Amino acid sequence: MFFHVQLIDDPDHPERRAVSREDHWAYFDQHRDHFAARGATTTDDGERTLSSVLFVEFDGWEEVRQFVDNEPYNRNNVYHDIRIRRWHNALGRTQRDFPRREGQVCWYIRGFGRPGANDRRNELLDAHRAYFADYDDEHFIVRGAVVSDDGELWNGSANLIALPSRADVDEFLSTEPFYVNRLFDEVLVERYKFGGRPGQIV
């Protein structure tokens, strides 16, 4: 069972990350096999960390909640908001499979679905998939739907994508079928950097 976890930093205490960084890395290394993707979001200039975003696979809710509860940054009160949602790994791969190149700029795109949009989403699904197909090999790191706790209803999307600039992200979204048809209440776009120690591929 896949989950998307947003761990949003407390902006009043940015120093807390440094205190437990080594413990955080060690903890994630111990759980390496559970990750489809892991990293941090930042301001567009990369100067300030905004959140950790995780795409993980666990047997169920109890296991993923226990994993988050024991995460060193969380135990050190780095975060002021924690969101755990069911997620579908549409590409069936991990970010370790993604071809990385020097100078790549990556983005986290989180679409929050409008209540009651599930049926309209299903009507547009083929067009949505066709639009994404051109980006799947070279641009999408991971992507997929955020779904209800029972996995039955579409609640939005959570994607990681490599595009040169925020302007390119805006252009990408401007003709995307779900976005054009206003299936989202909100779309959050933040700069993304791969997690792990310097030089580590995770």
The structural domains of the chain, ordered by start, are 2-92+101-194 (3.30.70.1060)
Distances (CA, A) of 99 to 41, 77, 89, 103, 201: 20, 34, 18, 12, 11
Per-residue tens of pLDDT for the chain, all 202 residues:
999 999 999 999 999 999 999 999 999 999 999 999 999 999 999 999 999 999 999 999 999 999 999 999 999 999 999 999 999 999 999 999 999 998 999 999 999 999 999 999 999 999 999 999 999 999 999 999 999 999 999 999 999 999 999 999 999 999 999 999 999 999 999 999 999 999 899 9
The conformation of residue 196, written as its DSSP 8-state character, comes to: S
What is the spatial distance between Cα 126 and Cα 40, in angstroms, rounded to a whole number?
31
Give the tokens for residue 37.
Answer: 């993707």
Q: Which residues contact 199 (CB under 8 A, 6 or more apart)?
A: none
Positive or negative torsion for Cα 22, 25, 29, 30: positive
Read off the pTM.
Answer: 0.96
What is the spatial distance between Cα 55 and Cα 159, in angstroms, rounded to a whole number?
10
Cite the DSSP H helix spans in 70-112: 72-75
Strands 49-57 and 2-9: antiparallel
| Bridge partners for 112 per DSSP | 156, 186
Cite the DSSP H helix spans in the chain: 16-19, 21-30, 61-69, 72-75, 118-133, 166-174, 177-180
